[in-house]
Amino acid sequence: MNSLFLINKSELDFMSPSLQKVLPGTHPFYLGLESDGSAHGVFIFNSNAQEVTTGPAPHIVYRTLGGQLEFFFFPGPTPEQVIQQYEQVIGTPYLPAYWALGFQLCRYGYENLTAMQEAVARTMNAGIPLDVPFADIDYMDDYRDFSFDTNVVFLE
pLDDT digits (tens, 9 = 90+) for 62-109: 888 888 888 999 999 999 999 999 999 988 877 788 877 888 888 888
β-bridge mates for residue 45, sequence order: 70
Are 5 and 50 in contact, with CB atoms under 8 Å apart?
Answer: yes
pLDDT confidence of residue 120: 94
- Give start-end residues of each CATH 2.60.40.1760 domain in the chain: 2-90
Q: Is 2-90 a domain of CATH 2.60.40.1760?
A: yes
Report the range of poorest mean pLDDT among 17-26, 47-56, 58-67: 17-26
Beta strands 39-45 and 70-74: pairing type?
Answer: antiparallel
Find out whether 141 and 149 touch, Cβ atoms under 8 Å.
Answer: yes
Q: What is the mean pLDDT of residues 142-153?
A: 77
